[in-house]
Amino acid sequence: MQISGAQMVIEALIAEGVDTIFGYPGGAIMNVYDEIYKQNNFEHILTRHEQAAVHAAEGYSKASGKVGVAMITSGPGFTNAVTGIADAYMDSIPLVVISGQVPMSLIGTDAFQEIDAVGISRSCTKHNYLVTDAKDLARVLKEAFYIASSGRPGPVHVDIPKDVTAQIAEFDYSVELQLETYKPHTKGNPRQIKKAMEAIAKAKRPLFYLGGGIVNSNAAYEVRELVRKTGIPAVETFMARGVLSHDDDLLISMLGMHGSYAANMAMSETDLVIGLGVRFDDRVTGKLSEFAKNAGVIHVDIDPASISKLVNADYPIVGDIKNVVNEMLEQSSLVNPAKYSSWRESIRNFDELHPLTYHEDTDRLKPQWVIERVGELLGDSANISTDVGQHQMWAAQFYPFSRPRQWISSGGLGTMGFGFPAAIGVKAASPEKISINFTGDGSILMNCQELMTAVERKLPVINIILNNNYLGMVRQWQTLFYDKRHSETDLSVQPDFVKLAEAFGGIGYRVNTKEEFDAALKDAVEKNIVAFIEVIIERLENVMPMVPSGGSLFNMMLLEKKEKK
């Protein structure tokens, strides 16, 4: 059929089964917005900043497992979106980001709102396109969705000049994709898998090292079965929270810079690391040369470039986690779970020696208590987003996660301002769950304008602001490593967060006590409207335990021992 480029974008989104997109209009993308106005097939959620549109699309994608879609205009619209695109790239989130561009005739003339968008996005996308003819649009958009969601997922950016969206051309979305240069390897090599299983059977102290790739591959329940059948203890990365349930006996905890002592000691003592969908990030490994020093390494990942990038893999397996774990399950009878009982016992001892805990020794509320309390009250019924900083680490440490895709946080890029818009996307994807965003007094101000989006679209995100009047994580490092010189991290001057929420039509609470917190959370959940719950917390609380940057996992700074109140 002969239609305009703008209509093609709409038709492609419909053909891909998209039900919600996030965006912000502007000059160069107006032709497409005109077609959005005319259709009823999908929702468009207007965020109040382009960065938030991309974060919302990320949250939507992470909660639903579908490709997230964001739409923005050229120039500043696009550059505002770059942080979100980079965030999705670092955390392997499948997105299609469509941007308007100045007309072809003006490209290269420094036209109004012109920027070399594909030049900028090249290094933070899985792939990108500048579409120069409407007849290419069907193929490009189909490729974009396929590339974003297959292999190691990631954001794909499609830049479309304004005259291309106006151009009339033939559109046929049933075209077969011919990507002879892109063929992701999804099936693991059976011989390698067999060898890996034999190595596991032989190992004395094997350890599962579970990563975010498991969530992307929708393989959490297969992994749960593999862990249970083999009786091998497991640590999770920050990105993998919820792969195992918090009450699984074999789950030690999160490992890494703010992982538990037991998780990090297990990694230091293991003789065989079984890495599934992990990438040996520096926040996980600490000092590389000391990481799992005496262990063999099995590494399963869909991205060959992740394997042996930082830690040499003795058993490299390139493939989709779900396929590989299913094959491993078939051979799991090779492994005798009883064999590891003393290994499990010694890990329990580590945990008893230095459990992941905190002291309630001050008048002010402890942030960890707030997280645990939300876990007790809402547990599985909430999806948890966070911003970036101390609150994020406390949430990862103390929330009782029970399922994959419950945990939505910016891991790789560490983007302050991610949490609230992401939580809006999460709520749009998963309206039956309560959408909680744990945030800090620093982070929340980086996208607080999204109060308007949430209120307008009735997406009742509950933001729990853990307020210590500090840019807390930087303050912690300054306290520990910069001789308490708290340079530019004191946030004593603040808005009235209650009034801020109310100014946008939301509801605000300021709480100082446990009783007040319980009442505020209950009220916010019952009223089911957008909320800020500002919790005044102990100012100088640190995230503990901690592996100092570049240190070894087994050399942790630990929580001081005190009598529990």
Catalytic residue among 142, 162, 427, 433: 162
**Reduced 3-state DSSP string for 305-319:** HHCCCCCCCCEEEEC
**Is 8 a catalytic site residue?**
no
Among 1, 46, 305, 540, contact with another protein (rule: CB under 8 A): 305
Which residue lies nearer to another protein by CB, 148 or 250? Answer: 148
Which residue lies nearer to another protein by CB, 185 or 522? Answer: 185
- 289 part of the interface to another protein, by CB under 8 A: no
Q: CB burial class (10 A; 0-12, 13-18, 19+) of residue 565?
A: exposed
- Which positions from 471 through 500 interact with another protein, judged by CB under 8 A? none
Minimum Å distance from CB 9 to another protein? 21
Tokens for 58, please give them. 């990320």
> Which region among 161-169, 200-208, 240-248, 300-308 touches another protein (by CB under 8 A)?
300-308
> Which region among 123-131, 186-194, 218-226, 542-550 touches another protein (by CB under 8 A)?
123-131
Cβ neighbors of 413 (< 8 A, separation 6 or more) are 83, 86, 87, 89, 90, 91
Residue 458 phi, psi (nearest 5):
50, 55
Among 67, 90, 117, 118, contact with another protein (rule: CB under 8 A): 118
Minimum Å distance from CB 127 to another protein? 4
Catalytic residue among 113, 192, 331, 449: 113
Q: What single letter denotes the amino acid at residue 439?
A: T
Minimum Å distance from CB 309 to another protein? 6
Residue 250 and residue 258: Cα distance in Å, rounded? 19
Among 113, 308, 331, 479, contact with another protein (rule: CB under 8 A): 308
Minimum Å distance from CB 193 to another protein? 21
| Residue 496: CB atoms within 10 Å | 12
**Reduced 3-state DSSP string for 114-151:** CCCHHHHHHHHCCEEEECCCHHHHHHHHHHHHHHHHCC
Contact criterion met (CB below 8 Å) for 279 and 306: yes
> Which region among 83-91, 173-181, 206-214, 463-471 touches another protein (by CB under 8 A)?
173-181
Among 37, 40, 176, 180, contact with another protein (rule: CB under 8 A): 180
Among 76, 108, 119, 495, contact with another protein (rule: CB under 8 A): 119
**Is 113 a catalytic site residue?**
yes
- 127 part of the interface to another protein, by CB under 8 A: yes
Among 48, 49, 62, 126, contact with another protein (rule: CB under 8 A): 126
Q: What single letter denotes the amino acid at residue 514?
A: K
- 179 part of the interface to another protein, by CB under 8 A: yes
Tokens for 285, please give them. 């490994």
C-alpha dist (Å) from residue 93 to 9, 63, 126, 326, 343: 21, 11, 10, 23, 36
Which residue lies nearer to another protein by CB, 282 or 523? Answer: 282
- 174 part of the interface to another protein, by CB under 8 A: no
305-323 burial string, b = 16+ CB within 10 Å, else e?
A: ebbeeebebbbbbbbbbbb
- 424 part of the interface to another protein, by CB under 8 A: no
**3-state class percentages of the chain: helix first, strand second, coil last, to nearest 5:** 45, 20, 40
Minimum Å distance from CB 155 to another protein? 13
DSSP 379: G
| Helix H or strand E encompassing 96 | strand 95-101
- 123 part of the interface to another protein, by CB under 8 A: yes
- Which positions from 138 through 157 interact with another protein, judged by CB under 8 A? 147
- C-alpha gyration radius of the chain: 24
Which residue lies nearer to another protein by CB, 154 or 296? Answer: 154
β-bridge mates for residue 536, sequence order: 467
Minimum Å distance from CB 319 to another protein? 15
> Which region among 302-310, 401-409, 427-435, 540-548 touches another protein (by CB under 8 A)?
302-310
Catalytic residue among 1, 112, 170, 330: 112
Which residue lies nearer to another protein by CB, 163 or 301? Answer: 301
Helices 341-353 and 261-269, interaxial angle, to 10°? 140
Which residue lies nearer to another protein by CB, 131 or 196? Answer: 131
Which residue lies nearer to another protein by CB, 305 or 519? Answer: 305
> Which region among 117-125, 166-174, 435-443, 453-461 touches another protein (by CB under 8 A)?
117-125
Contact criterion met (CB below 8 Å) for 82 and 123: no
**Is 178 a catalytic site residue?**
no
Number of residues that bind another protein (CB under 8 A): 17
Among 1, 39, 105, 122, contact with another protein (rule: CB under 8 A): 122
Minimum Å distance from CB 34 to another protein? 28
- 304 part of the interface to another protein, by CB under 8 A: yes
Matching residue, tokens 């593999």: 226
- 178 part of the interface to another protein, by CB under 8 A: no
- 303 part of the interface to another protein, by CB under 8 A: yes
Cβ neighbors of 150 (< 8 A, separation 6 or more) are 184
Q: What single letter denotes the amino acid at residue 486?
A: H
Cβ neighbors of 443 (< 8 A, separation 6 or more) are 387, 388, 389, 391, 416, 417, 418, 419
Minimum Å distance from CB 151 to another protein? 9
Cβ neighbors of 24 (< 8 A, separation 6 or more) are 46, 47, 48, 49, 50, 53, 71, 72, 73, 77
Which residue lies nearer to another protein by CB, 126 or 427? Answer: 126
Tokens for 518, please give them. 């319980």
Which residue lies nearer to another protein by CB, 131 or 507? Answer: 131
Tokens for 258, please give them. 């703010």
Catalytic residue among 50, 114, 534, 541: 50
Catalytic residue among 473, 544, 546, 556: 473
**Residue 253, helix vs strand vs coil:** strand
Residue 280 and residue 412: Cα distance in Å, rounded? 12
Minimum Å distance from CB 69 to another protein? 19
- Which positions from 309 through 348 interact with another protein, judged by CB under 8 A? 309
Residues annotated as catalytic are 50, 112-113, 162, 473
Can you give the binding site for another protein, defined by CB under 8 A? 118-119, 122-123, 126-127, 130, 147, 179-182, 303-305, 308-309
